[in-house]
Amino acid sequence: MLGGEGESTSFSSKEAAGDRRKSPAVEAEDPAAGSRYTEHGMGADRSYYLHSTVSKQSPETPSPCSFIPYTPCGTVYTPSSATRYPSSLHLGSVLPPAGFSPSSGRSHFSPAYQLGQSPGCLYPPYTSSGSALSNLNLPTIGPGMRAQVYLCNRPMWLKFHRHQTEMIITKQGRRMFPFLSFNIAGLNLTAHYNVFVEVVLADPNHWRFQGGKWVTCGKADNSSQGNKVYIHPESPNTGAHWMRQEISFSKLKLTNNKGTNINTSQMVVLQSLHKYQPRLHIVEVTEDGVEDISSEGKTQSFTFPENQFIAVTAYQNTDITQLKIDHNPFAKGFRDNYDSMYAAPENDRLTPSPTSSPRAHQIVPGARYAMQPLFQDQFVNNLPQNRYYNSERAVPQTNSLLSPQAEDATSQRWFVTSMQQGGNGTSTNKLDLTPYDGEYSSSLLPYGIKSLSMQTSHALSYYPDSPFTTMSAGWGSRAAYQRKVSPSLPWSPRPSTTTGFPEDLDKVKAQIEEEVNGSASLISSWTETQPSALSLDKADSYSTACKRRRLSLNGPITEDSISDIKCEDLASAAINSSSYIKDAPSSKCMAAYYSFYTNP
DNA sequence: ACGCTCGCATCAGGTGGGAAACGG
DNA sequence: CCGTTTCCCACCTGATGCGAGCGT
């Protein structure tokens, strides 16, 4: 079942004979799967750490990212027909414990591989069992190291997650929105990896939207068939490649057509009204993409609970619908006041919003990019005044600025090391954002956040597979967009891993602090603003943003860029480990991100 | 002449809404 | 009857091709 159809297509040109399998093409009953990883510290106490048995990993090797608590209760429901990768490295959001201290970091990078679970171990609640990330360091480069994965558009996922994300599935396949987008660090630069996403049942229930909320309704149909794996089209590729840029799965499509033979490699077959959990798998393979089964521990899996969603054939929750409309550029036609968004008076366009969020100054360089307000709800909570204020779509600075995650400015990247998400025993699957809010500033600021301001001219495709994201990856030609990047822009097409960091640190920090100051509403619930309340303010702010966009050729760095910078930094720093790992301004940057996850 | 940038037009494909169809 | 699924629609984005303009 796992990866059946998809893999064949993806690797058809690289078929390799022999007994070696191609990842993720693996027999469902891979005997090694269940024992691929060893776990340590399993016990009643949730606060312990696991050391995976990733091959070549030296136990003594201090981890760049430390200690992430592991919780025995898994997040992903694993029916009897477990896939080959039951041992999900569950990398929940990093939620430092209450006692989080900048100096409390530990030095062991401990991917917490979760062994296969019985169906009885159901979807565990998202918890904030803490982990201090203060001593976060950039990943070391070398064989056997564990990967660290960052969910690039996590804030957006969180917005949806608050209302229980829904994903449309159709016969011909529907893209996910938000889509999965990651940054990976800690890979061996020269080793080859397959990167793919597997979508597994998150719990054993059938769901129904009733009375304005999702309720369980019977048991899930475990007999699902069809492809559950989407292999990144760039697979296989080197660690350097994967770490060089954001890894987007925007082309991944969800379908309920089990019999489809069309584009099966792009399709993940799901069942409506079932809850799913995407997993990211990174499998070390040979150069031709063949997984070498002779060595264990070359598979690492990452799970972000906020990526969970319920597959539907029609949206059930209007909040989700509104979020989709507001965020997805392809749904722009359904936005209210769209026509008026560009009709605001000149002065309105140039005048910062009264409530000027920290993004007020995020004037975007590259006015050429007459982009639409994609960042409008970077923080939907700022609605209505700020909702569309900083709706610049084009921020030609990083590889993801035009991507939806770009709008999620400050906390855009979510670093996940080998951590097992904790479970707190609650029954909700929603991420608890309350502590997130509360600790937003308290944990973030005190620790001397210094983000790296890596300026790039990455342009801004809404999707991560934007020109700059993909150009180096060879995903089709996007010259038409690439060339639009003005050479006069002060940043380079590819983020320099070194230049410009120090001098921008303060600037970035200041911006982050501004974010923090305005964070009260940042994380507030979307429901605070009814969809129907998309007021005229929206149009005004929209217009303002658009105007600003047009006129701001050389504005200051945007938060979006900062976020991407961080993201890029992490990856590029990993590539250029020598000079920055130690100083690790990026570490602090990452720590800052971590800080968004806090415990009450 | 050549290469590059830029603007414009075209087209494929993605989007949610809504009505119709389907099925228990 | 009611919940779910399918299909079509209008609207939009993004990719691409082409030609004009510019600098070397």
Average pLDDT across each block of 10 residues of chain A; the chain has 600 residues. List them in order: 35 34 37 30 28 33 30 44 40 31 29 30 32 33 70 89 90 90 92 92 88 85 79 89 89 82 74 92 85 72 92 89 87 67 36 30 29 33 32 31 36 42 36 35 28 32 37 31 32 33 39 40 34 34 32 31 36 34 32 29
Residue type, A457: S
A317: CB within 7 A of chain C nucleic strand: no
User: Which residues 331-360 of A interface with strand C at a CB distance below 7 A?
Assistant: 332-333, 338-339
Q: Give the bases of strand B that a protein CB approaches within 7 Å.
A: 4-8, 13-19
A48: CB within 7 A of chain C nucleic strand: no
Angle at A211 between CA A305 and CA A73, to 5 degrees: 25
A283 CA → B21 C1’, Å: 44
Nucleotide nearest to A318 (CA to C1'): B16
Output the CA–CA distances (angstroms, integers) from residue A219 to A78, A202, A426, A572, in the order listed: 13, 12, 20, 45
A474: CB within 7 A of chain C nucleic strand: no
Nucleotide nearest to A323 (CA to C1'): B16
A480: CB within 7 A of chain C nucleic strand: yes
A467: CB within 7 A of chain C nucleic strand: yes
A456 CA → B6 C1’, Å: 21
Nucleotide nearest to A466 (CA to C1'): C14
A79 CA → C3 C1’, Å: 27
Quick one: pLDDT at residue A336?
66
Quick one: pLDDT at residue A77?
59
Query: What does the alpha-carbon distance between residue A63 and residue A570 come to, in Å, rounded to a whole number?
Result: 15
- State which residue has its Cα closest to the C1' atom of B6: A484
Q: How distant is the alpha carbon of residue A456 from its chain centre?
A: 20
Quick one: pLDDT at residue A279?
93
Quick one: pLDDT at residue A182?
92
The CB-based long-range contact list for A585-589 (8 Å cut-off, 24+ gap) reads A585/A450, A585/A451, A585/A452, A585/A501, A585/A502, A585/A505, A586/A138, A586/A452, A587/A64, A587/A135, A587/A136, A587/A137, A587/A138, A588/A136, A588/A447, A588/A448, A588/A449, A588/A450, A588/A451, A589/A449, A589/A450, A589/A451, A589/A452, A589/A508
Q: Give the bases of strand C that a protein CB approaches within 7 Å.
A: 3-7, 10-18
Q: What is the DSSP letter of A414?
A: E
A551 CA → C24 C1’, Å: 30
Query: What does the alpha-carbon distance between residue A164 and residue A77 come to, in Å, rounded to a whole number?
Result: 17
The CB-based long-range contact list for A331-334 (8 Å cut-off, 24+ gap) reads A332/A372
A402: CB within 7 A of chain C nucleic strand: yes
Nucleotide nearest to A263 (CA to C1'): B13
Quick one: pLDDT at residue A210?
85
Q: How distant is the alpha carbon of residue A205 from its chain centre?
A: 25
The answer to whether residues A480 and A467 touch, using CB atoms and an 8 Å cutoff, is no
Provide the token pair at A579. 């000079």
